[in-house]
Chain A
């Protein structure tokens, strides 16, 4: 192994000061070296390509450059100035913008809102054209990257390519000094790639330095002026693109240090039967893959990560429907059969591979349980001995068979996955990145096991982004690029160099499926239908539906009983709405951030009890004011405890707020064990003031709901709230302080419970410890009726307002229609279930459409 590094570039120092200069950067993770003494310069106005295989250290280096990773040692200079600690905020302020491989977009928010929440207000200031509206400027940002989506489209409905373009638009809008693009073309079609390249060239002409991470040499030649190659976390060389040949570049990329030895390959005798055939095998993410292996051969699937290999393996595991034929042994298999009979080892062990909270034995046995059945029940001795001997034969190292699997090392976890696959007596074994996160010692063992399985006649298919691994392990290798099989390598031709060459020199492009949305509407009718579709899936469709129901129901009741619209009834209904409405507005906030607050009901009840000590007829105004302040403080404290338990105590929202639910109820009974403390007439008079038949409190509620709605859509606070609920991870990456947002949200929820409690106090008229509790479930019902999603990220206060109105109206209706209490429950149950089903179906249909696209 040759560790020597060499620089081929002309000495660039003479020309100008580098925009960014990283010197001798070293970074280790738990003893594993990710970067070792890597130096990297970017000059003004150049495109500097960064090449290397998966795991070469490119992303770590760029995370250092953007401040998200702190190096163990090394120097960072931005614009010639040495920087001690580069934080993400400092990096952003220094004009470093990074476009990640996985876009940090918020699915529940619109394109425009995504731009607004990620960019500072100054980005919309207009620059030369001071009269331009925010929409016009945003539209210009989209046009610059060729994104055709409508500003008010929900990002959820965009294609993967469109999301990437949006991410690039966000980065470009900052007019960065240094733009880092991490494999930007992977999901893009040819048109988009051309447009992107043109855009990058314009930015460069304006003086921006671009760091371009890629696997594709063709793109390096098209775009870059210089290229730096990393391998195994080490600097391999920097060169002028014009002065280096493809072969020289390839030599720099390949030649990874061999980390493990391999078991001997299959020696063909010539008469082994063919036991696995793929014929025109096609599914979402890849097309027309063909292969044929004989008994004892291992089939490898190579390529840069994300080029259809995982999709191919998932289809072979029966998790995706496919077209074409897959033959195992001598007969074709269906997806359903594969789902149950394939031994699948997923790449993401945490998410898809193991039940992390269960034991080693439970994980290994789960797909072979019926083997251990004796009459009705499982035979424990048989299970222990059979699972145990398999685990032993794989040399799994764990404290015991009943140790929790999450306590094992990556290598041993992977062996548990293998044990599960083998115990199920699989038709085929499908392994996606089988040695990812596995220590060197365990790798050889895993290779040996895969060889033995293959020798026993079971077809083995392995995907790996490590070409060296496939070279050592496989008898045939398919090389994938953008979903196509670009090469099939057999026998001694399987070398790392040949695999990498096929993968990086491929010029195929992702076939971009044109969706309805990307096509420009031809006629006026189309525009309307698009707008209508957007409305149906928007936040206000439920509101319109509710208004319709409220009017129809009201008209029906009025036709049955004329007193329904009497001033008295209108007044009493709207007073009830005011109490529920405030509490439900608060609940809406909790649901928008993806949480829930079960404690609102007991909190409102408790505050009424507290108030009943202050708001009496004989108390002076100062005492009343004191009571009001006290109630407010209690509310804020409750919200803070809720938020803190969730964010810092890692409680689920249900567990945290349920604890407060019980606790607050207890406190109510502590203060008053029976109803007492009559609310003063003065207080009641103030709160029951009305304009015509409409109580002032209701008018306040409406004003507050409208103001909140406006803030939710237009203010930074509202956008952050929805961003947090939509995708916590993305929100964090674009700079939202999640802890603060969530804790504040719960405090606001409690403040609205406080407002509701003031209304409630007047209605109940006495400090009754048993009252208020039911408002928890009623408020959730009202919010759901209004169309706020329990998944977080989207909601509407106006909808909640109408949800509250409908709920109270229904309860009131039963009295006027002479129906029994039973009907109240029927109406409530049917309303909430119908709303939940209707809204979720409307949203999932869109998801399906997207999946088809």
Chain B
């Protein structure tokens, strides 16, 4: 309709390129694997890898959920409660009875949906701060955890143990589940109309509103999807650990945020990097494995995580070209232009 004379030299069409986040964590993972091979071969033994992968899978799934929330400029502190609740429901309610497993899983998803809607309503609709809203929801989720379990751990059903904790073709089943989740998230976010709108809203809600997108609906959806993924992670975890505690989810809050940031997703929202998030989860898990094999105390692992987070944030948020310009030449603008997206 608006066809004008086509320019001879059109705009270059997009080419497939890996994101900066994926390259960064990918390279970091390769370096880590090489270092593991040289310095701590035992951390790459079959047993060690098979022990690491299930937990990496769980972290990847939790991280993907957190990523969706972070994409909308939020943060989800209800991860511990959500993961713990899923664990408790699928282990306590069947209490060893395989037949009750499926209803229990459905119930877990029901609770997850309710928690997601609550978060979404509080943040998307009432405009509460994400920290406060999810903090409150987290407390309520833990109330449910204690209400159901009484605080004592239960042994998981055998069926769940074999499905979530078993091996197929020599690979832990949880890896397949995590891969499936990752594929679904990538397809949904990158390849559907809703997913593309979702990213656009996260990048700039004001502009998205001006183009007529339903900002609140997508912001709410982020919390609901997040809860669904935490629920899946919790169910996997219940199958992997023989006797999960009622507070198992607590250990996932900080690493989940860390893998999102390491993957290159800005805490201010916008584009998400699901694949990089998954790789970052493997990286952090292998880092733990490596430290364990080298024999450094737990403390060092934590410090390395902190350093990785700081480096990760600095890598993506500091405008390095400006820093170079500033220290490279003497000409300095008195009033630096505001960067479009300091994260």
Contact = CB atoms under 8 A, between A and B. Distances in A.
A539 to B, nearest CB: 18
Contacts of B319: 650
Given A392-B11, A400-B15, A357 B196 contact: no
A656 B305 CA distance: 13
Which interface residue of B10, B75, B209 has the most chain A CB atoms within 10 A?
B10
A651 B317 contact: yes
A837 B298 contact: no
A286 B268 CA distance: 35
A384 interface: yes
Interface stretch (B31-39, B142-150, B216-224, B232-240): B142-150
B11 A401 contact: yes
Interface in A777-830: 777, 780-781, 784, 790-791, 820-823, 825-826, 828-830
A202 interface: no
A832 interface: yes
B254 A836 contact: no
B204 A663 contact: no
B143 A777 contact: no
B197 A369 contact: yes
Contact of A376 (B17, B147, B192, B268): B192
Interface string B260-304: 010000111011000000000000000000000000011111111
B47 interface: no
Contacts of A363: 200
B341 interface: yes
Interface string A431-469: 000000000000000000100110010000000000000
A355 B135 contact: no
Interface in A348-372: 350-363, 365-367, 369-370
Contact of B11 (A396, A659, A790, A841): A396
B302 A652 contact: no
A438 to B, nearest CB: 17
Contacts of A318: 212
B193 interface: yes
B329 interface: no
A737 interface: no
Given A355-B208, A836-B128, A840-B127, A456 B196 contact: no
Contacts of B143: 822-823, 825-826, 829
A655 B254 CA distance: 11
B151 A392 contact: no
B206 A352 contact: yes
Contacts of B29: none
Contacts of A572: none
B14 interface: yes
Nearest to B205: A355
Interface in B1-50: 1-4, 6-7, 10-15, 17
A828 B139 contact: yes
Interface in A745-796: 769, 777, 780-781, 784, 790-791
Contacts of A422: 2
B206 A356 contact: no
Contacts of B137: 829, 833
Given A654-B267, A655-B261, A665-B302, A351 B207 contact: yes
A420 B309 contact: no
B254 A649 contact: no
Contacts of B331: none
B85 to A, nearest CB: 11
Contacts of A370: 193
B211 A393 contact: no
Given A401-B12, A670-B300, A821-B146, A357 B341 contact: yes
B343 interface: yes
A772 B298 CA distance: 17
Q: Which of the four size classes fits the interface of chain B?
A: 35 or more
B127 A661 contact: no
A44 interface: no
A392 B7 contact: yes
B4 A393 contact: yes
Nearest to A314: B210
A777 B14 contact: no
A673 interface: yes
Given A355-B200, A393-B4, A406 B341 contact: yes
Determine chain A's interface SS by DSSP, over half rule: helix
Interface stretch (A325-333, A339-347, A492-500, A523-531): A339-347
B117 interface: no
B196 A362 contact: yes
B199 A344 contact: no
A367 B211 contact: yes
B270 A456 contact: no
Nearest to B151: A821
A70 interface: yes
B309 A659 contact: yes
A772 B332 CA distance: 45
Q: Which of the four size classes fits the interface of chain A?
A: 35 or more
Nearest to B10: A392
B120 to A, nearest CB: 14
A17 interface: no
Given A666-B301, A828-B139, A654 B203 contact: no
A790 to B, nearest CB: 4
Contact of B200 (A362, A377, A400): A362
A731 interface: no
Contacts of B207: 346, 351-355
A400 B12 contact: yes
Contacts of A365: 196
B213 to A, nearest CB: 8
B167 interface: no
B135 A780 contact: yes
A790 B132 contact: yes
A388 B17 contact: no
A844 interface: yes
B51 interface: no
A830 to B, nearest CB: 7
Contacts of B136: 828-830, 832-833, 836
B84 to A, nearest CB: 11
B82 interface: no
Given A353-B207, A650-B318, A667-B303, A822 B147 contact: yes
Which interface residue of B2, B196, B200, B314 has the most chain A CB atoms within 10 A?
B2
B297 A669 contact: yes
A360 to B, nearest CB: 8
B306 interface: yes
B212 A367 contact: yes
Contacts of B261: 655
Given A354-B204, A377-B191, A399-B12, A406 B139 contact: no
Nearest to B150: A820
Given A355-B203, A357-B270, 17 more contacts: A350-B340, A355-B200, A356-B203, A357-B204, A358-B200, A456-B1, A650-B319, A659-B306, A790-B129, A826-B140, A829-B136, A829-B137, A829-B143, A830-B136, A832-B132, A832-B136, A837-B128
28 contacts: A357-B203, A357-B266, A357-B340, A362-B200, A366-B197, A366-B208, A367-B212, A393-B4, A398-B11, A402-B15, A453-B2, A649-B318, A650-B317, A652-B268, A655-B309, A659-B306, A662-B254, A663-B306, A666-B304, A669-B297, A673-B297, A780-B131, A822-B147, A825-B140, A828-B136, A830-B136, A833-B136, A840-B127
Interface of A: 70, 317-319, 339-342, 344, 346, 350-363, 365-367, 369-370, 373, 376-378, 384, 388-402, 406, 420, 422, 424-425, 449, 452-453, 456, 596, 645, 649-652, 654-656, 658-663, 665-671, 673, 769, 777, 780-781, 784, 790-791, 820-823, 825-826, 828-830, 832-833, 836-837, 840-841, 844
Interface of B: 1-4, 6-7, 10-15, 17, 75, 77, 122, 126-129, 131-133, 135-140, 142-143, 146-147, 150-151, 187, 191-193, 196-197, 199-200, 203-204, 206-213, 254, 257-258, 261, 266-268, 270-271, 297-307, 309-310, 313-314, 317-319, 334, 339-343
